[in-house]
Amino acid sequence: MTAAKLRRDIAATIAKLAARGLYFGTAGNISARTATGFLITPTGIPSEDIRPADMVAVDMRGRHKGKLLPSSEWHFHRAIYRDRADVKAIVHTHSTFATVMSCLRRDIPGFHYMVAKAGGPAIRCARYATFGTEALARNAVAALGRRRACLLANHGLIAAGPTLAAARRLAEEVEALCEQYWAALAIGRPVLLPSAEMTRVVVKFRSYGRQPKTD
Ligand SMILES: [Zn+2]
């Protein structure tokens, strides 16, 4: 995929998340891996004003090209790309319900089988660190492990995937799960699925939705 196409795809991802109310103002950032590093949304520009040309190329040593500065959270994007060869795109939002749960600093347990879509029996909440720091990058990598999503304490969510579309859809799903978990906690005590069942569903999701190859 060309860099020009990736730039357009990042802009389209912002528009889709913004249309659902999950991405607003200067909160959140999105990146996609390139041959030499990654393209990431710029810092300080409101999401509705970001154009494809504004995405900033950052290499794996953290050097950027162009006149715009990359999102202040480029550290955790780089750390995740370094740690995970399978990750090609990362979406970070301050969407409301994920942020609410992150402020409670609690993992999202297996209250619903869809939690396993993020790659584990729970969606972990990373330890708190100041935004834009290497400490936050380390905490995010630790919370993600081999999974595809995590919360960041008192901050928001991270969703990672093999494509921008996959990372965006997972961010939308994690936000929906956080809202559902909040609602369940508000009126009672959610019944958690047994860990054996969550393990079974994690395995099932690895092959779910794949169409059989026709050639
Ligand atoms: Zn943030």
Q: Looking at 48, 73, 175, 197, which residue is catalytic?
A: 73
Q: What is the mean pLDDT of the chain?
A: 95
Q: Is the pLDDT of residue 25 over 90?
A: no
Q: Is the pLDDT of residue 46 over 60?
A: yes
| Rounded CA separation 153/127 (Å) | 6
For the question of whether the overall pTM of this predicted structure is more than 0.85, the answer is yes
Please write the tens of the pLDDT for every residue from 127-138.
Answer: 999 999 999 999
Kindly tell me the burial class for residue 25, based on how many C-beta atoms sit within 10 Å of its own C-beta (0-12, 13-18, 19 or more). Answer: exposed
Distance 153 CA to ligand 1 centre (A): 10
Distance 195 CA to ligand 1 centre (A): 31
- For the chain, the straight-line distance linking the first and the last C-alpha, in angstroms and rounded, comes to 23
| Rounded CA separation 93/24 (Å) | 9
Distance 209 CA to ligand 1 centre (A): 31
pLDDT of the residue at 57:
97
Tell the residue number behind the tokens 């960041």, with chain if given.
152
User: Going by DSSP bridges, is the β-strand pair 37-40/29-33 parallel, antiparallel, or unpaired?
Assistant: antiparallel
User: How many C-beta atoms surround the C-beta of residue 36 within 10 A?
Assistant: 11
Please write the tens of the pLDDT for every residue from 161-206.
Answer: 999 999 999 999 999 999 999 999 999 999 999 999 999 999 999 8
Distance 4 CA to ligand 1 centre (A): 25
Confidence category of residue 215, pLDDT binned at 50, 70, 90: low
Distance 200 CA to ligand 1 centre (A): 32
| Rounded CA separation 142/190 (Å) | 27
Confidence category of residue 18, pLDDT binned at 50, 70, 90: very high
pLDDT of the residue at 2:
87
With a CB cutoff of 8 Å and minimum separation 6, the contacts of 38 are 31, 32, 57, 58, 77, 78, 81
Q: Average pLDDT, stretch 49-67? A: 94
| CA distance to 44, 179, 195, per residue, from 160 (Å) | 23, 20, 23
Q: Average pLDDT, stretch 71-78? A: 97
pLDDT of the residue at 167:
98
User: How many C-beta atoms surround the C-beta of residue 67 within 10 A?
Assistant: 8
> 73 an active-site residue?
yes
Contact between 94 and 26 (Cβ < 8 Å): no
CATH topology of domain 3-205: L-fuculose-1-phosphate Aldolase (3.40.225)
| Rounded CA separation 182/148 (Å) | 21
Distance 214 CA to ligand 1 centre (A): 42
